Amino acid sequence: MMQNDKEFEFTRDDFDYLRKIVTDTTGILADDDKYSMFYSRLARRVRKLGLKNFSEYRSYLNSNRGSESIELVNSVTTNLTAFFRENHHFDFIKDTIVPELKLRGTKKIRIWSAGCSTGEEPYSIAITLAEAIPDYKNWDIKILATDIDSYVVNKASSAVYDLNRVDSINKTLLNKYFKKGTGDSSGFVKVNPELVKMIDFKQLNLLHNWPISDTMDFIFCRNVVIYFDKPTKNKLVERYAELMIDEGYLFMGHSESLYKSTEKFHLLGKTIYQKTGKVT
């Protein structure tokens, strides 16, 4: 399968070889329709390394498997996100979860944003909690934010965004929780340090060990399991349940479902699941 209009020859064998490494490394499945995406994103990598073709890239990858497999995964994983994406999830935090937490009376919250991308999701969670809990600074709130892509984790931890990334945020919230840059930083905003302190950003492969000791009140895993086969998805969801409080909440992406995948969660509606309580 040769593309004459491409800068580099990219055969079907190249595609199959590279996507198998991605699947073996991450569990993420790349369908045939990802052929062009693999080429366009990895051609940049071939060019950056000064290589002549994908055959040379495969040789380079074999010689530098540890470091280059990370670059390969970073290149082809999708990181589409936005602040307050699927806003009903954040309404649920404000209207349902926070009142339940207040009734518990512990002032302790543990959250995991699994697949945090460039950080818009965990910062949206932090803003929602700050708005719903006026004395949030007196609470023990920790948000773990992880992604397999080390580049986007570094971007997220910087807490800096282009102005066009925040133009959909309510102006009151924007002025309250972001600071506009000046001079060389003009055109950018930075998240309020009090919110940044809530979040711990880490690079994490969901198929590997999870060095997590906290028990989570709720977990965001949106637009993540869609890339896994059913057995991997089921195993992942079971692991989430083990890490979560009884009757904790799991948030999924709009195109994802746990139908016939697990008995550990039941659907509340609008891609919000609750961990099934202990059977007595």
> Over the stretch 225-240, which tens digit does the pLDDT of each residue have?
877 888 888 999 999 9
Q: Considering only 70-74, 115-119, 208-212, which range has the smallest mean pLDDT? A: 70-74
pLDDT in tens, 39-49: 998 999 999 99
Written in H, E and C, the secondary structure of 130-188 is HHHCCCHHHCEEEEEEEECCHHHHHHHHHCEEEHHHCCCCCHHHHHHHEEECCHHHCCE
Q: Are residues 70 and 107 in the same domain?
A: no
- State the pLDDT at residue 50: 95
Residues 23 and 94 reside in one and the same domain: no
Are residues 44 and 165 both part of a single domain?
Answer: no
Report the number of distinct structural domains present in the chain.
2
Asked if residue 115 has pLDDT above 50, the reply is: yes
Residue 227 lies in a domain: yes
What per-residue confidence (pLDDT) applies to 179? Answer: 96
26 and 50 housed in the same domain? yes
Q: Is 147 a catalytic residue?
A: yes
Quick one: how far is CA 203 from the chain centroid?
10
Q: Which domain holds residue 249?
A: 87-275
* Residue 79, pLDDT above cutoff 80: no
Question: What does the alpha-carbon distance between residue 143 and residue 256 come to, in Å, rounded to a whole number?
Answer: 23
Strand partners, 190: 160, 179
Give yes or no: residues 179 and 69 share one domain.
Answer: no
How confident is residue 30, by pLDDT bands cut at 50, 70 and 90? confident
Q: Phi and psi of 191, rounded to 5°?
A: -70, 145
Overall average pLDDT of the 137-143 stretch:
97
116 & 162 share domain: yes
Which residues make beta-bridge pairs with 110? 142
Among residues 14, 45, 110, 147, which one is catalytic? Answer: 147
Per-residue model confidence (pLDDT) at position 10: 93
Q: For the chain, where are the E strands, in sequence order? A: 108-114, 140-147, 160-162, 178-180, 188-191, 199-203, 216-221, 244-252, 265-269, 272-275
